């Protein structure tokens, strides 16, 4: 693990200035990919553009029909704000489809969010990883009931209880996660560190198991980090290559890829920012460039709204994973979670029961600067995807903008 240094900018745009629509002359701290240090970018004084030219503009293959997008327009209005600097939303219902964006590409240029903007999907990566493992199972190259130790000898201690491949995918493996410093400043100072999956597993094994494999469910990245290693071992190719070969290229996903060691987001994208309190003042630090090697196969994928919609539609209709393996994605393990409630996570997805008795199958994700989600009914008639550049994406409370989007979308179900 090699640490990259980060030099904090002495002045930065404050959330209050953004929310008020005026940004005083100063600088936004942003990451420099070449040097691993933070460079200052000047922001001219004046009002911040809202990007409303793009608000409500339909995407390719997305026609509103009789759908009224008013609630979603209202949910993403008023950006940038102290809560988020931009939002992209796509919704599909039997009445039609609508794509809308609002906010700015970055606080310095103040330009609107570019069309087909890419973003970090965070833990929605797990849907892709689960699909890859289930493809290998369909090909007879992986046994979901088989022990992980048989595929990855030496990764876990010799006396470690048997962990099955299925338990990696449905968060019942019990493999502990590593304990890392949680402060934002520490995270910023180590944003260019490079980790290997094996290092993360070894660090996790320093902690004790909370339960024996298969006894309970506890949501972590660890099962998917190990699943990424399994994909590489069985195929002989990198996770990045298999994602591209098996999913992205066959489905024509031009914006979807795993970045590996590259901390940048390639192609058009909106910048993400993290609020940091320094000297009693909250500043927005550009968090766009950030190594994702601490979340391989579990939180590192980059995509776009249209690509996520294409992927989830193809997945749910059996064009990515065939039956009977696809059933794994809609089957919850018959165990309690560690808090005593029922299991909520299947292979790659989260079950979200609705008041009308139906279930949304979803996956949310968060990386510094970015919140994302994809959700669909089993029959695909109702689908939602969003990306929000929230200023505290890893905070304990969900961004107010994200809450507004979720509420508006569910109200249109």
Look up residue 25 and give its two tokens.
Answer: 């002359």
Q: Which of 178-192, 235-249, 286-300, 320-334 has the lowest mean pLDDT?
A: 178-192
- Cis previous bond, 80, omega within 30: yes
Q: Are 298 and 232 in contact (CB under 8 A)?
A: no
Tracing tokens 């404050």 back to the chain, one arrives at 14
Arithmetic mean of pLDDT, 333-344: 95
Determine how β-strand 96-103 pairs with β-strand 273-278: unpaired
Determine the Cα–Cα distance for residues 323 and 302; give it in Å rounded to an integer: 27
Buried residues in 263-300 as b, exposed as e (16+ CB within 10 A): bebeeebbbbbbbbeeeeeebbbbbbbbbbbbbbbbbb
Q: Are 288 and 104 in contact (CB under 8 A)?
A: no
- DSSP result, 328-373: GGG---SSBBTTSSB--B-SS-EEEE-TTS-EEEEEEEEETTEEEE
pLDDT at 59: 45
pLDDT reading at 35 higher than 90: no
Q: Partners of 286 in the beta sheet?
A: 273
Who's near 198: CB < 8 A, 6+ residues apart? 155, 229
For 193, other C-beta atoms within 10 Å of its C-beta total: 15
pLDDT reading at 182 higher than 90: no
Torsion-angle region of 270 (φ positive above 0: left; ψ -120 to 50: alpha; else: beta): beta
Q: How confident is the model at residue 60 (pLDDT cuts 50, 70, 90)?
A: low
pLDDT at 91: 98
**pTM of the prediction?**
0.89
């Amino acid at each position: 693990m090699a640490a990259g240094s980060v030099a904090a900018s002495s002045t930065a745009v404050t959330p209050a200035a953004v929310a008020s629509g005026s940004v005083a002359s100063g600088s936004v701290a942003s990451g420099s990919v070449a040097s691993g240090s933070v460079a200052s970018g000047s922001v001219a004084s004046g009002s911040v553009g809202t990007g409303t030219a793009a608000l409500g503009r339909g995407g390719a293959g997305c026609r509103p029909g009789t759908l009224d997008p008013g609630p979603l327009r209202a949910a993403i209005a008023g950006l940038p704000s102290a809560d988020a600097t931009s939002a992209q939303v796509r919704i599909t219902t039997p009445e039609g489809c609508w794509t809308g964006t609002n906010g700015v590409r970055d606080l310095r240029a103040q330009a609107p969010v570019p069309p087909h903007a890419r973003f970090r999907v965070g833990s929605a990566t797990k849907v892709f990883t689960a699909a890859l493992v289930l493809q290998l199972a369909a090909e007879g190259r992986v046994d979901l009931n088989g022990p992980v130790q048989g595929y990855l000898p030496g990764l876990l201690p010799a006396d470690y209880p048997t962990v099955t491949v299925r338990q990696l995918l449905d968060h019942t493996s019990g493999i502990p996660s590593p304990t890392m410093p949680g402060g934002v400043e520490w995270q910023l100072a180590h944003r260019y560190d490079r980790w290997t999956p094996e290092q993360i597993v070894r660090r996790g094994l320093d902690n004790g198991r909370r339960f024996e494999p298969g006894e309970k469910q506890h949501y972590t990245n660890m099962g998917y980090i190990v699943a990424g290693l399994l994909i590489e071992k069985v195929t002989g190719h990198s996770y990045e290559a298999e994602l591209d070969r098996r999913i992205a290229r066959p489905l024509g996903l031009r914006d979807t890829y795993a970045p590996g060691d590259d901390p940048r987001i390639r192609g058009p994208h909106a910048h993400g920012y993290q609020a940091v309190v320094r000297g009693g003042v909250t500043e927005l630090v550009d968090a766009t460039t950030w190594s994702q090697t601490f979340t391989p196969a579990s939180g590192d994928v980059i995509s776009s709204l249209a690509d996520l919609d294409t992927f989830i539609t193809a997945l749910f209709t059996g064009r990515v994973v065939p039956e009977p393996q696809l059933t794994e994605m809609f089957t919850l393990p018959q165990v309690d979670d560690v808090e005593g409630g029922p299991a909520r996570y299947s292979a790659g997805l989260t079950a979200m029961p609705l008041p009308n008795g139906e279930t949304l199958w979803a996956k949310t994700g968060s990386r510094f600067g970015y919140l994302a989600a994809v959700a669909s009914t089993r029959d695909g008639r109702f689908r939602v995807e969003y990306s929000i550049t929230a200023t505290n994406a890893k905070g304990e409370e969900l961004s107010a903008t994200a809450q507004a989007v979720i509420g508006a979308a569910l109200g249109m179900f």
